[in-house]
Amino acid sequence: MKDKPLNEMLKVESVSILMRLLRDFGRNTLPLLSRKVPFIQKQFVAATIVSLREIVNEDFHVIVEPRNQVERLLARKDTDIHMYENYSLYFNRIAVLLNLQEPNMHGEARLLDPMGNIKKDMGLISSEEYHYTNDIKFLERMKYQFYQSCGRNTECIICIFSHHVPCTLKTHQCARLIDEFSKRTNEFLIISYEEVFYDTDEDEAWNILSHNSNIFCLHPFYFCPPKKSDKNIETYLLPWDEEEEPVCRRISRRLIRGLSNKRYRTEKKKRKSFCRHSEVLEFHVHEEI
């Protein structure tokens, strides 16, 4: 697998399905997290570990059972959430992480650098604050579950969806941290996002990540994939309600319906016009006779 760049082994359509599902899963956990944290955050990082085969076959059942758990927890409307731990929710091979306030850590760092080793080497934290950055080792947990499911010899791909593009902020440098993590571990990663934080340079972040052959960067543009892929997405979204239907597909359907109605109205007008014209001709013919 390491012989080729990741973007040569994967189809954009397949990756876009996975990352949209991951994005939607993260969004749907936010009401649960809001029951446990004192403030609402827009920023979240949703991460999972999958195999190349799962992506190629578009087999994303890794999300199905955690999604069902979220549905059940949302319906119960209580705060007894055993998956919650320190501004995070953990489900087997999936974790949803919020930024930590104390110590100040972004979700990407919590996932890839919980001990602060990479940030320390990058000069982003000092030796004095190094011992304060011990966080839960989410990646170790997910890898354990991955190898239990897929076998120890199966190579894994770490998939990260961040609401905001991995930042270029001086004290965090999440884009650089992801790049450095990949170089140190030789791990494959897929990265995507949907918005840009006002203090982040999106072009710089994209440039850092896209120049690493082990990182597949998916632009938000692809969250409205071709209609062929929408059928696959619909399969995995069920039984979520219709509100979770991809916006682009709803818009497309409305446009198609509007065009169809317009064509129908146009054809109806033509038929009426033709009938009236025929009646006038017939009247004139009778008069001449």
Residue 110 falls inside a structural domain: yes
Q: What's the pLDDT at 1?
A: 61
Q: What is the pLDDT of residues 102-125, one digit of tens each?
A: 888 999 999 999 999 999 999 988
User: What is the distance of C-alpha 238 from the center of its chain?
Assistant: 17
288 and 210 belong to one structural domain: no
State whether 219 and 288 are in the same domain: no
Same domain for 68 and 117 = yes
Strands (E), the chain: 45-51, 88-91, 94-97, 156-164, 188-195, 215-218
Give 226-249 pLDDT, tens digit per residue: 444 444 444 444 333 333 334 444
Quote the number of domains for the chain: 2
What pLDDT is stored for residue 179 in this prediction?
Answer: 97
Q: What are phi and psi of 203, to 5 degrees?
A: -60, -40
Q: What is the pTM of this model?
A: 0.77
Regarding whether 255 and 114 lie in a shared domain, the answer is no
Residue 117 — φ and ψ, nearest 5°? -65, -45
Q: Could you tell me if residue 17 is inside a domain?
A: yes
**Which of these, 244, 283, 199, lies nearest to 27 by C-alpha position?**
244
pLDDT exceeds cutoff 70 at 84: yes
Q: Is residue 1 part of a domain?
A: no
Same-domain pairing of 47 and 182: yes
Give residue-wise pLDDT tens across range 123-145.
Answer: 988 877 766 777 899 999 999 99
Residues 259 and 282 in one domain: yes
Question: Which residue type, as a one-letter code, is found at position 212?
Answer: N
Q: Given a cut of 80, is residue 266 above it in pLDDT? A: no
Structure tokens at 228: 């062929």
Range of the domain at 255: 249-289
76 with 110, same domain? yes
Residue pair 178/209 in contact (Cβ under 8 Å)? The answer is yes
Cα distances (Å, whole numbers) of residue 200 to 85, 169, 211: 28, 6, 18
For residue 2, name the pLDDT band (cuts at 50, 70, 90).
low
30-83 pLDDT per residue, tens: 999 999 998 778 899 999 999 999 999 999 999 988 999 999 999 988 888 889
Q: Identify whether 165 is part of a domain.
A: yes
Considering the domain architecture, whether residues 201 and 107 belong to the same structural domain is answered as yes
Burial class, 233, CB count within 10 angstroms (exposed 0-12 / middle 13-18 / buried 19+):
buried
- Position 192 in a domain: yes
Q: Does a structural domain hold residue 228?
A: yes
Measured in whole angstroms, how far is the alpha carbon of residue 14 from the centre of its chain?
Answer: 12
Co-location of 135 and 175 in the same domain: yes
pLDDT for res 234? 40
Give per-residue pLDDT as tens, 144-203.
999 999 999 999 999 999 999 999 999 999 999 999 999 999 999 999 999 999 899 999
Same domain, 253 and 226: no
Same domain, yes or no, for 153 and 74? Answer: yes
Residue 40 pLDDT: 76
- Copy the structure tokens of residue 201: 């340079």
Q: Does 285 lie in the same domain as 210?
A: no
Answer whether 213's CB lies under 8 Å from 179's CB: no
Asked if residue 161 is part of any domain, the answer here is yes
Per DSSP, the three-state class of 104 is coil
| pLDDT at residue 7, rounded to an integer | 81
- What is the per-residue pLDDT for 270? 44
Both tokens of 29, joined, read 């956990």
